[in-house]
Amino acid sequence: MTTTPYETDRYQPSGYSDSDESYLNPGAAIDAELSGEQEADELDTIDTVDEDDSTDEGGAGSKAKASTKPSRGLFRRVAAKTIEVQGASDTVRALAAAQVGGSEDVVELVASIMSAGRSSTSPLTDIETIQAAIRDEPWSVGITATALGRARLKSIWTLLHTLGAVGTPAPPASDAKAGLAVAKAVNGLSEDNQLELVASAELLKRS
């Protein structure tokens, strides 16, 4: 019997494993990374099924009743977040509460943080955008701020008011004036203000 170069009498492992796929297929690695957070969220609950062997009059068969219960991992995360919120300063808690639209009370704030959805934009991201414009293109910062739109300017204003950087709880009625006022206040933030904003961003992380 003649063997081809692809045939052998003895199996020889190639050394290739599933973990090497990220090197051969970068797209797979990227997809895995993007789906990581979604998989983490799915682990928060465990599905249990109770089967009922009884049948209805039509003989449809057994019925399955699905129920869900929190996982131990979720309890640990909530407990850890509660300790973290308790240890935060009043200003940091106020900043976090302003961003999730909840109360500064520890229990209520923890509940708001753990149940909040992930947003593609946030006031902190918008503040960083304005700060970048101040640093790189100061002549256009008013336009950059105004272009964010009324709703996002109001969210930024709420944080600035919490920090004492603006004197009124609501921004000017004119979007152009509001944009300029926000830009001016952001430019005047102290180093302590910056640290408090960063701390509030960390507090809002669910894990």
Asked whether the CA dihedral 103, 108, 113, 119 is positive or negative, the reply is negative
At 150, phi and psi to the nearest 5?
A: -60, -45
3-state SS, one letter per residue, for 124-180:
HHHHHHHHHHHHHCHHHHHHHHHCCCHHHHHHHHHHHHHCCCCCCCCCCCCHHHHHH
Confirm whether 78 is domain-assigned.
Answer: no
pLDDT in tens, 67-121: 577 788 888 999 999 999 999 999 999 999 999 988 999 999 999 999 887 764 5
Task: Judge contact between 181 and 151, C-beta under 8 A.
Answer: no
Angle of CA points 109, 114, 116, to nearest 5°? 90
Cβ contacts of 149 within 8 Å, gap of 6 or more: 175
Q: What's the longest Cα–Cα distance across the chain?
A: 92
Counted domains in the chain: 1
For residue 168, the enclosing domain spans 120-203
Phi/psi-derived region of residue 46, left when phi > 0, alpha when psi is between -120 and 50, beta in every other case:
beta
Amino acid at position 169, single letter: P
Task: Judge contact between 155 and 145, C-beta under 8 A.
Answer: no
Name which of 31-45, 135-149, 173-187 the model is least confident about.
Answer: 31-45
Q: Which residue has the higher pLDDT, 201 or 65?
A: 201
Confidence bin at 149 (pLDDT 50/70/90): very high
Characterize the bridge pairing of strands 63-70 and 45-52: antiparallel
- Residue 46: pLDDT over 50: no
Q: Which residue has the higher pLDDT, 113 or 13?
A: 113
- Show the DSSP H helices in the chain as ranges: 21-24, 26-34, 36-42, 72-87, 90-100, 106-115, 123-136, 141-146, 150-162, 175-187, 191-203
Mean pLDDT of the chain: 78
Confirm whether 58 is domain-assigned.
Answer: no
Q: Is 92 exposed, middle or buried (0-12, 13-18, 19+ CB in 10 A)?
A: buried
